[in-house]
Amino acid sequence: MRTSSLIAISFGVGLLGTGAAHALDAAPRPQPLAPTLTPALPTLSPKITPAVKYSSAREALRNGMRDYNAGDKVGAAQALEYAAGQGHTLALWKLGRMYADGDGVEHDDLKAFEYFSKLADQNADESPDSPNAAVVSSAFVALGGYFLDGIKGTYVSANPRRAVEMFSYAASYFSDPNAQYNLARLYLEGTGVAKDARRAARWFNLAAEKGHPASQALLGHLLINGQGVPRQTAKGLMWLTLAREGSSGSAKDRWIDKLYEEAFADSAESDRKLALALLEQYIQSRR
* Whole-number percent of the chain with pLDDT over 90: 75
Q: What is the pTM (predicted TM-score) of this model?
A: 0.83
Per-residue confidence band for 18, with pLDDT thresholds at 50, 70 and 90: very low
Q: Write down the CATH number for the domain with range 4-28+108-285.
A: 1.25.40.10
Per-residue confidence band for 185, with pLDDT thresholds at 50, 70 and 90: very high
DSSP the chain: ---HHHHHHHHT-------HHHHHHTSPPP--------SSPPPPPPPP--SS--S-HHHHHHHHHHHHHTT-HHHHHHHHHHHHHTT-HHHHHHHHHHHHHTSSS---HHHHHHHHHHHHHHHTT--TTSTTHHHHHHHHHHHHHHHHH--TTSS----HHHHHHHHHHHHHTS--HHHHHHHHHHHHHTSSS---HHHHHHHHHHHHTTT-HHHHHHHHHHHHHTSSS---HHHHHHHHHHHHHHS--SGGGHHHHHHHHHHHHHS-HHHHHHHHHHHHHHHHHT-
Residue 141 has pLDDT above 80, yes or no: yes
Residue 224 has pLDDT above 80, yes or no: yes
Instruction: Give 29-74 pLDDT, tens digit per residue.
Output: 664 333 233 333 333 344 445 456 788 889 999 998 999 999 999 9
Lowest mean pLDDT among 31-35, 104-108, 226-230: 31-35
The residue-averaged pLDDT of 260-285 equals 95
Lowest mean pLDDT among 42-51, 55-64, 99-108, 152-161: 42-51
Residue 281 has pLDDT above 70, yes or no: yes
Q: What is the pLDDT of residue 193?
A: 97
Lowest mean pLDDT among 8-22, 45-59, 94-108: 8-22
Domain ranges within the chain, ordered by starting residue: 4-28+108-285
Residue 285 has pLDDT above 50, yes or no: yes
Q: Which residue has the higher pLDDT, 16 or 122?
A: 122
